[in-house]
Structure 1
């Protein structure tokens, strides 16, 4: 399959478990990529298929920073404008509400929500007609999550933002959808899985945690023409955890 030949996709959090799995999948299907992550070392450690080249541009730095966002936009424009955008960067920190500081609250919303709004806004002028946006929500945004009020709030808000994008950009053929992963085996969830993994798996209808590639395949579908009449939806990729 080559659903992304001559298409440019921007991925933030590209060195993370889900981001890198998505980048590998899209590159195998012909996509040009703008890959962002906080650390240049993390980007340099990506598989050889994702090394910086004429068709794969690396942008390192704090994704909440205006200058870093501007470099992402410039890179995307140099590759022909944006046909797909997957803001996968995020943080997942544990803190019970009674111990949650305002600084921790703002840090999580800044990365998980504010940066998505800011970069989306900056990409609008280089967003090609019929492009697709896939944001990252979470089962926590649907159900709440003990010890993760800041994370759950950011992910619930992402869905409302995404549906508004679908409403406002639909006249250009641009689609916007969200995916809601459950517990996926990545570095970001290692600590929480080590504490609660067995309990969470037992509460999931499929009885296990997910893998990054399972999320990547769903995101690729929503970015591709295969989902050409789907917009404004949240796709749950959590083994049925949202029902438990």
Structure 2
């Protein structure tokens, strides 16, 4: 066995590590934060507007025996992104990884997308991960510890649907940024990967979009929507030592929908 290969029972062990999860007040982000804490990581649960949800999530993790805290930041602002990184180090003593999960997903026909909406979409979905990854890389270089970044993209980066032109474009930018960052940060020992989820369940989705849910289940070889835990487990894998020689990839987590022919 290679010297850097841990025993199988420790491959997914994140004990002693610290991770920032952005957008942790939402469904997917909360699922990721809980799973990483369950694997032993200290988790800084980032939020922008929903303080109550983030603080409740952190409290639940702590009550279950984990380590967590909530921290607000506007990730379109470099100073606040820097403060988020400093906050993780101040609270937990170190920082090993970042999960760029925070995102925005409005629906609008192309002709109704304003310049302001386009710019905000890019700022949130691509600009935030760019800033936080760059700041984390600076920290990793100074600390000499290496680390990992996981960017939450979407299968829409290559398979857009109507009404999502700006969203799909922002996620395509994020996937390409992931690969470019992996090239540059590899020498620092920092791995950068992306996960592209398909349709993930949220409360009320069946009532809000019954036709979409039915169509998805019909198209998905595995016959169901994703759950936040499905994405969370993929994040756990990419942050863990099981993925120690993996960087610059896009891992699709969509129940097989992308395997359907496009014609």
TM-score by length of 1: 0.91
Counterpart selection for 1:92 from 105, 130, 140: 105
Runs (4+) off by over 6 Å = 188-192
Where does residue 125 of structure 1 map in the other structure? Answer: 138
SS in 2 for 1:62: coil
SS in 2 for 1:157: helix
Q: Equivalents in 1 of 2:163, 2:124: separation in Å?
A: 18
Gapped regions of structure 2 (runs ≥ 5): 1-9
**Does 2:69 match 1:57?**
yes
TM-superposed deviation, 1:24: 1.0
**Structure 1 residues 6, 113: closer, same or farther in 2, change over 3 A?**
same
Whether the 8 Å CA contact 1:9–1:84 is kept in 2: the answer is yes
Q: Equivalents in 2 of 1:209, 1:21: separation in Å?
A: 15
**Structure 1 residues 95, 18: closer, same or farther in 2, change over 3 A?**
same
Q: Highest Rg: 1 or 2? A: 2
**Aligned CA-pair RMSD:** 2.3
SS in 1 for 2:14: coil
TM-superposed deviation, 1:134: 0.7
Number of positions where the alignment pairs a residue of Structure 1 with one of Structure 2: 244
Q: Equivalents in 1 of 2:204, 2:195: separation in Å?
A: 17
Q: 5 Å matches for 1:222-241?
A: 222-241=238-257
Q: Alpha-carbon deviations, 1:73-99, whole Å to 9, x = none? A: 111232333211101101111111122
Q: Equivalents in 1 of 2:167, 2:208: separation in Å?
A: 13
Q: Equivalents in 2 of 1:47, 1:211: separation in Å?
A: 20
Counterpart selection for 2:53 from 42, 48, 64: 42
TM-score by length of 2: 0.85
Gapped regions of structure 1 (runs ≥ 5): none
Where does residue 9 of structure 1 map in the other structure? Answer: 19
Where does residue 175 of structure 1 map in the other structure? Answer: 191
SS in 2 for 1:14: coil
Q: Equivalents in 2 of 1:14, 1:197: separation in Å?
A: 24
**Does 2:224 match 1:203?**
no
Q: Equivalents in 1 of 2:43, 2:94: separation in Å?
A: 11
